[in-house]
Amino acid sequence: MYLMVLWRSSLAAARADNFYYPPEWDPSQGSLNKFHGQHALRERARKIDQGILIIRFEMPFNIWCGGCNSMIAKGVRFNAEKKQVGNYYSTKIWSFTMKSACCKHEIIIQTDPKNCEYVIISGAQKKTEDFDVEDAETFELPADEERGKLADPFYRLEHQEEDLKKKKEAEPVLVRLQRLSDAKHSDDYALNKSLRARLRSQKKRVAEEENASRKRGLGIRLLPASEADSATAAKVKFSTKFDKNRKDKRALINAASIFPLSVSSISDKRLELESKRRKIAANRASSLLAGGFKPSSWSQGAVLSSRQKGASMNVRR
C-alpha cells in the first residue's frame, strides 16, 4: 500500500513537470507536446494560428477608459492579445488588444519605434500630465525641432561655442564643489569616528533624561529646557498668601451677620482697649526711668501671657 501511494505521488509530480512519458509514447512520435497535440504555452497560444499570443501587458501610463470614462492607472496589468501589425524599417510594430476591467471595453495600444513610445489606437485616451521642470528636479529635454537642428553641423558648431563659454563660466563653481566634496569624504576613518562619537553622546543624553524622568515618577522622557519653556512658565501665576487671606476675609464677611452691633457694646470695647494701651505705656515708662531696658515684642508677649495666666488663676479661686 505504501509503495502504491508513493508511486502515485511521484506520477502526479512528473505530470505537473511535464516529464511523464506514457507507455504508448514512442521517440519517433516527437516531443510530448506533439504527442498530446498541444502547444508548449498551452492556453496562451490558443490563437497562435492567427499570429496572436496572450501575454501580460502592463499599462505604460495613466489613461481614461473610453467606455465608462474611469481612470486606469499606470502599472495595471491585463491579459492582452499580442500581434504584429507592421514594421518600422527592421523593427516590428506590435499591437496589444485588451479589455478593461471596469466595463469590458476593448482597448488597443501599439508600439511606436520611431518616437520610442506607446500609442493608443482606440478605446481609451491618454491622461495629460504636465510637470514643472524645477518642481520635478529633472532636465528639460530639447524639442523635436531642436533635435532636428542638431543634425545640422553648422548649427551644432555655433551652439558648441556657446556651450564651451557656459562651461568655462561654471567651471570655478564645479571645481569648488568638487573640492568641498573631496574634503568631506577624504578621510573615512575620521568621519566614522566623529559619527560614532556623536551617537554615543546622544545615547548618553537620552539615558540621563530617562533616568531623570524615572526619578520624578514620569513614564515619558523629558526634553531639555528651552527659552520658550522658560517664557511660558514665567507667565503662569500661582495663588499667594495675600490671595488666601483675602479669600478668608471675604468668607468671614459673608458669614457674619448683616445687622450692626449696638452703640453701647462698641463704646465699651473701645474703652477697654484704651485702658489697656495706657497701662502698657505706663509700665514701659516706669521701666525706662528705673534704668531698665526697652522690652521687646517677645518679652511683652511673655509678660502678657503670665498676667493672663495669673488672672485666670484668681478667677478660678
User: Each residue of 211-236: pLDDT tens digit?
Assistant: 888 888 888 887 777 888 888 888 88
Residue 290's pLDDT is 62
Supply the pTM of this predicted model: 0.39
pLDDT at position 2, please? Answer: 45
Residue 300 confidence (pLDDT): 52
pLDDT tens readout for residues 177-195: 888 888 777 777 888 888 8
pLDDT tens digits, residue range 27-72? 887 787 777 777 777 788 888 888 889 999 999 999 999 889 899 9
Share above pLDDT 90 across residues of the chain, in percent, rounded to a whole number? 22
- What's the CA gap between 60 and 126, in Å, rounded? 10
pLDDT category, 4, cuts 50, 70, 90? very low
Map grid coordinates 528639460 to a residue.
140
Q: Are 18 and 40 in contact (CB under 8 A)?
A: no
- In tens, the pLDDT along 88-117 reads 999 999 999 999 988 889 999 999 999 999
Quick one: residue 75, left, alpha or beta (phi over 0 = left, psi -120 to 50 = alpha)? left
CB 87 within 8 A of CB 97: no
What pLDDT is attached to residue 237? 76
Please state, in angstroms and rounded to a whole number, the distance separating the CA atoms of residues 166 and 147.
20
User: Which cell is 58 given?
Assistant: 502592463
Strand duo 117-122 + 77-88: pairing: unpaired
Torsion sign, CA atoms 16, 17, 23, 25: positive
Higher pLDDT, 12 or 120: 120
Distance CA 67, CA 105 (A): 6
Angle (nearest 5°) at CA 223 between 222 and 227? 130
Cell numbers linked to 153: 553641423
